[in-house]
């Protein structure tokens, strides 16, 4: 055991009635994978000006205005993680149903069409296993909770420890307030009621320095996009479109975090978290052929925020083992919350050379520092329609943290298609997606926010830029087409098991003499390099009416 700190006895963790979420958890739902039809993927998604592919329904809706025939398509394949090891229920190779949709095209004039489209595609595939391990050199997850207690005040990023009538430790806002601190998390509750107290009645509390950690998490699930589109063109020169999108969120993660302490003891935190819910957005776009005699096209589009209404739940257990001594405690929770993603803007260029070559370029920008974490703070009942409507307001402190940690992301897409013969196509594509996270960003356990209160894990990863390389083949036979694409996506990141806390003043007492000593304590996490490298095989079957 290391330094001792004198605390008073405490109270029970109580769930609060309004809810929000934490920056790094919100970021998991932001952005999209490169996915859709095999033609779209094979060209790196750079088809927002070329159009005439169902997958542009969610990026530039005007792309569906270039259809001259009705069309249906179906896509699926395999997603393969190229690094890491299998863990829990996660697998490194998973089948994936990626897209189904169609366009109904009607002629409204000699050169004009009005088209209606529907498409489902998997906007985000969460299947991924994260593994990380490293030394800790005396820092530990439980020390983070201990130091927050030493701070003694919500206004300083900590809490004041006291007991309730059930004899359980709780973190309050300060020494005189009896409201639970927003900085008091579920993880803090577990440590302060198992490992940190020396005994159930002890007033002297301790932390355990750790020598190493091992972390494994299996992510599964997806975000499904359901898009409804109306598009058309004016004299085959200007193409317009609008898409109304619905999103269906299914995220599951199971993790085990193990620390080995300096005295040979150890602790395991197992965490099972689910996020479900729905969202909606609207996308509008235009494509213009500025020169009547040229196939060169310019496209532009804008997507509103996705307004998400979500529910998250967790079951978390801490097991502490020291020889024959074993302590175990669990906690679970479920709550509703909202987040609003940022606006997205896109500009694209497309050009065809004869009937053999198609070239596409797209640039997108989305500022993730503007993710809006929302607190459900009430609502009203509409007696006429018999519906209850929730109201929400921004979580100011968490949104301030989001602006510090996340940043604007630029996406560059390049694609080329070459047809050596009329019914055979060869495609190549490339994507560069700039980093979403600041290089010095970290999860802040001291934010006075409900997103902190409901946290059941302390880890975070600052992911770097993503590079995607694609290639594809397409073959057309009469009214049928079959397309195949391969995508390799590479991304690295810096994983940390908990956030750094520096310079917390600790007052120690010598039990024998009663003398007190004041020292400054820090808790510095050791990072690990991690990768998210994935391959995708995608097959599309299509039919033109």
| Residues in a beta bridge with 339 | 308, 373
pLDDT tens-digit readout, 313-349: 999 999 999 888 888 999 999 989 999 999 999 999 9
How confident is the model over 212-216, as a mean pLDDT?
Answer: 97
Is pLDDT at 17 greater than 50 in this prediction? no
> Rounded to the nearest 10 degrees, how much is the dihedral formed by the CA atoms of 56, 58, 61, 67?
40
pLDDT tens-digit readout, 18-38: 566 899 999 999 999 999 999
Higher-scoring residue by pLDDT: 385, 200: 385
CA distance 429 to 37: 14
pLDDT of residue 491: 97
pLDDT of residue 382: 67
Q: Which of 292, 290, 302 has its CA nearest to residue 349?
A: 290
Q: Supply the mean pLDDT for the chain.
A: 91
Instruction: Dihedral sign for Cα 425, 293, 61, 28, please.
Output: positive
pLDDT of residue 198: 59
How confident is the model over 419-444, as a mean pLDDT?
Answer: 96
pLDDT of residue 2: 40
Decide: helix, strand or coil at residue 155.
helix
How confident is the model over 377-385, as a mean pLDDT?
Answer: 70
> Rounded to the nearest 10 degrees, how much is the dihedral formed by the CA atoms of 196, 198, 203, 208?
-40
Percent of the chain with pLDDT over 90: 78
Is pLDDT at 302 greater than 50 in this prediction? yes
CA distance 72 to 101: 6
Is pLDDT at 393 greater than 70 in this prediction? yes
The verdict on pTM exceeding 0.85 is yes
| Residues in a beta bridge with 329 | 318
Q: Which of 92, 88, 122, 55 has its CA nearest to residue 534?
A: 92
Higher-scoring residue by pLDDT: 57, 508: 57
Is pLDDT at 109 greater than 90 in this prediction? no
Decide: 375 and 400 in contact? Cβ < 8 Å: no
Phi/psi-derived region of residue 295, left when phi > 0, alpha when psi is between -120 and 50, beta in every other case: alpha
**In the chain, where are the structural domains located?**
17-139+208-254+268-304+341-377+394-544
Please give the C-alpha separations between residue 282 and each of 244, 266, 305, in angstroms, as whole numbers: 5, 50, 8
Q: Domain 17-139+208-254+268-304+341-377+394-544 belongs to what architecture? A: Beta Barrel (2.40)
How confident is the model over 263-274, as a mean pLDDT?
Answer: 94
């Amino acid at each position: 055991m290391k330094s001792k700190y004198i605390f008073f006895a405490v109270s029970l963790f109580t769930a609060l009635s309004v809810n929000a979420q934490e920056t790094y958890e919100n970021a998991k739902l932001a952005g999209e994978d490169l996915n859709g039809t095999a033609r779209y993927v094979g060209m790196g998604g750079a088809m927002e000006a070329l159009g005439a592919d169902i997958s542009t329904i969610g990026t530039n809706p005007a792309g569906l205005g270039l259809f001259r025939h009705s069309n249906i398509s179906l896509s699926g394949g395999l997603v393969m993680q190229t690094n890491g090891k299998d863990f829990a229920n996660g697998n490194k190779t998973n089948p994936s149903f990626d897209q189904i949709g169609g366009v109904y095209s009607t002629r409204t004039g000699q050169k004009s069409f009005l088209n209606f489209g529907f498409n489902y595609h998997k906007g985000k595939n969460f299947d991924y296993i994260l593994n990380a391990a490293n030394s800790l050199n005396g820092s530990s997850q439980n020390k983070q909770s201990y130091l927050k207690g030493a701070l003694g005040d919500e206004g300083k990023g900590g809490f004041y420890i006291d007991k309730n009538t059930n004899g359980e430790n709780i973190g309050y806002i300060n020494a005189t307030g009896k409201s639970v601190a927003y900085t008091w998390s579920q993880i803090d509750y577990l440590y302060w009621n198992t490992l940190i107290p020396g005994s159930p009645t002890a007033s002297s509390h301790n932390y355990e320095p750790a020598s190493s950690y091992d972390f494994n998490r299996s992510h599964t699930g997806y975000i499904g996009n359901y898009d409804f589109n109306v598009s058309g063109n004016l004299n085959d020169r200007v193409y317009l479109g609008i898409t109304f999108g619905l999103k269906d969120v299914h995220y599951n993660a199971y993790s085990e975090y193990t620390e080995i302490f300096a005295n040979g003891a150890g602790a395991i935190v197992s965490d099972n978290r689910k996020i479900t819910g729905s969202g909606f957005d609207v996308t509008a776009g235009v494509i213009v052929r500025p020169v009547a005699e040229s196939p060169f096209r310019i496209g532009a589009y804008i997507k509103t925020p996705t307004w998400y209404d979500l529910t998250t739940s967790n079951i978390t257990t801490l097991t502490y083992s020291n020889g024959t001594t074993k302590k175990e405690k669990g906690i679970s929770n479920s709550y509703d919350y909202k987040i609003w993603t940022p606006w997205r803007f896109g500009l694209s260029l497309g050009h065809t050379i004869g009937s053999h070559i198609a070239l596409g370029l797209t640039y997108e920008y989305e500022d993730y520092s503007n993710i809006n974490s929302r607190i459900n703070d009430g609502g009203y009942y509409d007696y006429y329609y018999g519906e209850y409507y929730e109201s929400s307001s921004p979580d100011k402190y968490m949104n301030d943290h989001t602006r510090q940690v996340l940043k604007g992301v630029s996406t560059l897409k390049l694609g080329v298609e070459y047809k050596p013969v009329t019914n055979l196509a060869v495609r190549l594509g490339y994507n560069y997606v700039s980093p979403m996270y600041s290089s010095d960003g970290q999860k802040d356990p001291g934010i006075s926010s409900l997103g902190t209160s409901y946290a059941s894990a302390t880890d975070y990863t600052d992911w770097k830029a993503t590079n995607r390389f694609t290639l594809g083949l397409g073959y057309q036979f009469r009214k049928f087409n079959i397309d195949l694409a391969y995508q390799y996506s590479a991304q690295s990141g810096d994983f940390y098991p908990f956030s750094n806390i520096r310079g917390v003043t600790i007052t120690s007492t010598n039990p024998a003499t009663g003398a007190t000593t004041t020292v400054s304590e820090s808790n510095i996490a050791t990072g690990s390099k991690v990768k998210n490298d994935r391959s995708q095989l995608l097959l599309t079957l299509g039919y033109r009416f």
